Amino acid sequence: MEVRSITAIPLSHSLGEGQGLGGARGITQSRSAALVRIETADGTVGWGEALAPPRSVATVVDEVLAERVRGMDPYDVETLTADIYVDEYHFGRGPLIHSAASAVDIALWDILGKATGRPVSDLLGTSSASAFLGGDDPTEVIPYASTMYITEWDEDPAAPVRAAADEGFTAAKIKVGRNVADDVERVATAREILGDDAHLMVDFNGNYRPKQAAQAATALEPYDITWIEEPVPPENLSGYAELNRYTSIPLAAGEAHFNRFEFKRLIDDRHVDIVQPNVTHCGGLSEARFIAKLAATENVAVLPHVWNGGVGLAAALHFAASVPSYPHAGSLPEHKLFEVDRSKNPLRDELLSDPLDPTGGTISVPRGPGLGIDVDEAAVERYRIDRGDERALGGTKVDGRG
């Protein structure tokens, strides 16, 4: 079984004039993804997804990765990222090549699952799945709604949180980071709607300096915050260390970090309590698994960041189900939560023949072979853009900040 062909497919959907959304550091006017379709000599097809500017990913796949992957045995998938570090000496640690490699890696894992008739989560290892859920069923996880975005339009901040509660979500993460007074108002609104027992997380998207973040953390402590996400910019590691001395609220980061070396610094120096690799950005399932093992050695929690289309969402679910429960055995002090974006994104909701449903308080980990999904190729064509096509992107920055 060897790879016969690899195709990169850039996708984008414009949110429409005045409908941009995002966080404290910026707004995006489109949702995008880069899919990779790999087919083996025996006709097995695997799908992967990258979180990065889609046309750029397609170019990297064509010009850097395709020659390496054609003829490859999918069972060698875990050598891909390591080989890139070595062979692409000057460029092998950049975020763009890691995003492109992520899509290729995921597609190869999808092929392996189909070849063996097993879900990817089984291949990654699910011995701790029961502990992941705090129960006996390894096929479902507890989702949290990623919502209350900062929007171009004058949206009532309470509306999206009410919608999430009505859909059965028992946890939510909301956007903050514009100023402390606004942070408190948004958090108080969300807490009132969700109730005292719900998990509530806040995402600053790196918009504060350390002492600003410390002031915000102090002001938010009465609202029982589960974690603070990206309080300072991703490159400001000393800022994380400084903030950790100010607050007892756990700190989380990782969506803007992209390889084992960056995560190792976060983990070894205890800058954060939770690392959040995105499997479509950090180097794929193989690299995410490597990062999870690094985290386990230092007793740091691993909860994937997810702001993806349908293929990336499925891949993240399989990774989440495989994350070790160390040091917990027999009982889990708190549930591990799984991120589900609730903003408008047809690349999440329409690309799969049977979209993943997070409503009702749980979301199922696909149990079919590979990723356990069927990609609707007609929907893929609806959102496909040419390499030089600006019409869907509207000439705006394609942002992966979720």
Residues serving a catalytic function are 305
Cβ-based neighbours of 144, under 8 Å, separated by 6 or more: 169, 170, 171, 172, 173, 199, 201, 337, 338, 339, 340
Cβ-based neighbours of 253, under 8 Å, separated by 6 or more: 229, 230, 234, 240, 266, 271, 272, 274, 275, 276
3 state SS of 45:
strand
Residue linked to tokens 């004058």: 154
DSSP result, 7-43: EEEEEEEE--TT--EEETTEEESEEEEEEEEEEETT-
Residue among 34, 21, 94, 9 at smallest CA distance from 312: 34
Burial of 299 (0-12, 13-18, 19+ CB in 10 A): exposed
**Token pair for residue 190?**
């969300």
Residue among 104, 112, 120, 119 at smallest CA distance from 35: 104
Burial of 139 (0-12, 13-18, 19+ CB in 10 A): middle
CA distance 21 to 199: 23
Q: What is the torsional sign of CA 266, 268, 269, 275?
A: positive
- Helices (H) and strands (E) counted in the chain, each on its own, are 15, 15
HSE toward the beta carbon, residue 9, CA cutoff 13 A: 24
